[in-house]
Structure 1
Amino acid sequence: MACAGLVGCGSVPLPPPSPDLIAAPLFAPVDVDTDPAQAIAPSPAMRSFLEREMQPLIRVHGPSRAMALALSRLPAMRLEYDASFTRTAAEAFDARAGNCLSLTLMTGALARAMGLSVTYQQVDGGSAWSRSGGLLAYSGHVNVVIGDASLFGTGARWAQRLVVDFLPAEDVAGHRTTPISEATVLGMFLNNRAAEALAAGRIDEAHAWVRSALGTAPGFVPAWNTLALLLEHRGRADLAQRVLAHAAATEPGNTRVLANLAAVLTATGRDDEAAAWRERLRALEPQVPFAWFDRGREAAAAGNWQAAYAAFQRELDRDPDQHEVHAWAARAAEQLGQTATARRHLERARETGPSPTIQALYAAKLDRLNAPLRH
């Protein structure tokens, strides 16, 4: 669950989480450092890099332009996308890899160590969905704006603000951006860590991370959504419903929260209420995430590969970057004897896979499919 829960900013502030809602007695204590400061702390290696590699560039181009050149041209800063887990700024710098949030945190930490101003933006429309159990998790996209605040508006040579975004320009072009606080960005980091622990089955650790997220950014609704996922895993759908109702009251248009609230109400036997929320959800978002994917897998289980492929294609029409759906579409196409189509879907699954491990898995499947071409 890469970059999980990184949307929902700009909401009405929530009060601090109550002991009742975070339900600590349901979770065992764990020895994990959930201090949010670690996410943006520059390491000695980062400071050494600034002194050794950046100073020559700064003298010629100014600090913000030097940062852009370093990220795009310096061999020492060749970065790779890796969404296997959310790294701190220091971890992303050491690995020269990370998901969008990790690389954004790294850039912000380097810029701040250079004395530049750092602000963050949420990019609207960049959300992606995933699932945990019967509930939905979601991730979004942020970027960072850096510059020398003392020069803004002066017309000086180095007075420009620089937006650093780790998605291709065409993927974010035309999307509205919203400034968000550093506390929200730290909440995103902590919530991502919670979602990753949850995906790995480390429920108690996930709870520790989400408690820190809610303490750091109590108005960050995706963290409440993650808490609901954890409560559902602990068999407390009643508490999950209360948490989601709390989040839905804060962001009435948050379709992720509404979808989960409807699911939890169904699980607790409150079908009429669930139906009302689903009706509201359909009005806000006519295409329910994963509905066609589920239909496709049901058709595949029944051996109806034609219907399965059609359903997978419908799901990809909603979101074309779902690696798992591409993998299933490739399987259906192969069953239908459409090898070229299967190959295309596997190539896309490899491109959109969230980590090198998963990308390697799809590459191996693609090699198997291509093997007859080499004879």
Structure 2
Amino acid sequence: MLLCSACAAPGPIPPPLKPPSEDSTQQLLHKSALFNSPAISLKTPDEHILAVNAEMRYFVNEQVPAALSPRARLRYLSDALVRPSLLGIEYQPGVTQSAADTFANRRGDCLSLTSLFIALAREAKLDAYFNEVSVPPSWELLSDNRSAIYKHINAVVELGNGQREVVDFSVDIYDYRYPQKRVSDDIAAAQYYSNLGVSALHNDNYDDAYLYLRRALHLGPEEAYIWGNLGVLFRRGGYNSEAELAFSQALSLDPEESASLSNLARLYRSSGRKERAKQLEQVIASRQRDNPFWHYSRSRAAFERGDYAQALNAIKRAIRLDKNEYRFYQFAAVIFRSQGNTDKYHEYGLKAAHAKLKQSH
């Protein structure tokens, strides 16, 4: 967990896409029959991700003295969460749970751990809220020539007198320089259901995926990436017209939604609309050329193939585009070491250390 005091230039705009009508996009949330899903009302209430049970209340009462200052209460709570002899929570990517389930299982992804922290912090009378961080995609998030938009989330605690602290449970991901913004509890819940929907989609459970994604869009109808996820579900199910609507809606909300742009280009090409596909592909190629993290991903892929020359060319391009990212220097050092170039290995190792130190300040 990281406690610290507390945020990409947009790429080319895609060719004009006709925004779908509101009626047509709303109809996408009433397609249960396509997936043999029960037609549950979107207004049906469910237990919120921040719900607190008696055991959680007891934990706060025992571990966080109420008479302390907000900053001291924050420290007590943070220590109780991570100390192995107390709760001992662990960060585990890909495990999305509610605050109560995370408390019981003591592990989860950034959203799960943040939800647990916020639920307990509010129980300790701390002013805590969700903070969404736009993390650049790295090589771990790219596979099979497909990119993913990663919505990292952490917490901010207001301590009074203009003081605040960021609480983050994945130190290797968060950087205070990344664009970030406060988001509501409902938007965090929308991300929760979107994560569950994507997990169900990966397991080919289209029925549950649809129920989760429609719930996510009910809570966060302006979240472009969730419309993109819904488009992937329709595309996988063979419903291309619905998929095109969902991808178009995502891009109408956010022209920078690169995953939807790539998916729509593939849909156009597979359906014979080659000119439209080509237009989008040109935008995608331009964005990739100007994205240092894309070159970083290419370097990692080349390195895994044993092509050290190409890996070095790609990582040097990434460094030219962003001279402040320590991971680029770090990986360049790894490549030089594999080539047996000890001098360059030490040179880039030092550059990585200096860049990381500069970021920390």
Normalized against structure 1, the TM-score is what?
A: 0.67
1:121 counterpart = 2:131: yes
Equivalent residue number for residue 150 of structure 2: 139
SS in 2 for 1:123: strand
Q: Mean Cα displacement is larger for which, 286-295 or 58-67? A: 286-295
Inter-CA distance 22–223: structure 2 relative to 1 (3 Å threshold): farther
% of aligned pairs identical?
23
Q: Mean Cα displacement is larger for which, 309-318 or 108-117? A: 309-318
SS in 1 for 2:128: strand
Q: CA deviation at 1:62?
A: 4.0
Confirm or deny: 8 A CA contact 1:85 1:196 kept in the other structure: no
Instruction: Give the Cα–Cα distance (whole angstroms) in 1 for the partners of residues 229 and 146 of structure 2.
Output: 10
Confirm or deny: 8 A CA contact 1:232 1:240 kept in the other structure: yes
Q: Identify the match of residue 43 of structure 1 among 43, 53, 58.
A: 53
Can you list the C-alpha shifts for 1:272-315, whole angstroms capped at 9, x where unaligned? 10110111223333256998599869xx9xxxx545x7667888
1:182 counterpart = 2:182: no
1:247 counterpart = 2:250: yes
Instruction: Give the Cα–Cα distance (whole angstroms) in 2 for the partners of residues 132 and 60 of structure 1.
Output: 44
Instruction: Give the Cα–Cα distance (whole angstroms) in 1 for the partners of residues 149 and 312 of structure 2.
Output: 21
Confirm or deny: 8 A CA contact 2:137 2:148 kept in the other structure: no
Q: Identify the match of residue 29 of structure 1 among 37, 41, 44.
A: 37
Confirm or deny: 8 A CA contact 1:248 1:254 kept in the other structure: yes
Normalized against structure 2, the TM-score is what?
A: 0.69
Inter-CA distance 227–284: structure 2 relative to 1 (3 Å threshold): same
1:70 counterpart = 2:73: no
Inter-CA distance 162–35: structure 2 relative to 1 (3 Å threshold): farther
Q: CA deviation at 1:165?
A: 0.8
Inter-CA distance 251–164: structure 2 relative to 1 (3 Å threshold): same
Q: Identify the match of residue 102 of structure 1 among 100, 109, 112.
A: 112
Q: Mean Cα displacement is larger for which, 190-199 or 251-260? A: 251-260
How many residues align? The count is 299
Give ranges in structure 1 of 5+ residues lacking alignment: 1-13, 154-158, 327-332, 339-375
Confirm or deny: 8 A CA contact 2:93 2:109 kept in the other structure: yes
RMSD: 4.0
Inter-CA distance 50–171: structure 2 relative to 1 (3 Å threshold): closer
Can you list the C-alpha shifts for 1:327-371, whole angstroms capped at 9, x where unaligned? xxxxxx9xxx99xxxxxxxxxxxxxxxxxxxxxxxxxxxxxxxxx
Instruction: Give the Cα–Cα distance (whole angstroms) in 2 for the partners of residues 57 and 15 of structure 1.
Output: 51
SS in 2 for 1:192: helix
1:238 counterpart = 2:241: yes
Confirm or deny: 8 A CA contact 1:64 1:147 kept in the other structure: no
1:218 counterpart = 2:221: yes
| 1:149-298 matched pairs, under 5 angstroms | 152-153=160-161, 160-168=163-171, 171-286=174-289, 292=298
State the one-letter code of the partner of 1:276.
Q
Q: CA deviation at 1:258?
A: 1.2
Confirm or deny: 8 A CA contact 2:142 2:148 kept in the other structure: yes
Confirm or deny: 8 A CA contact 2:133 2:181 kept in the other structure: yes
SS in 2 for 1:172: coil
Give ranges in structure 2 of 5+ residues lacking alignment: 1-20, 319-324, 340-361
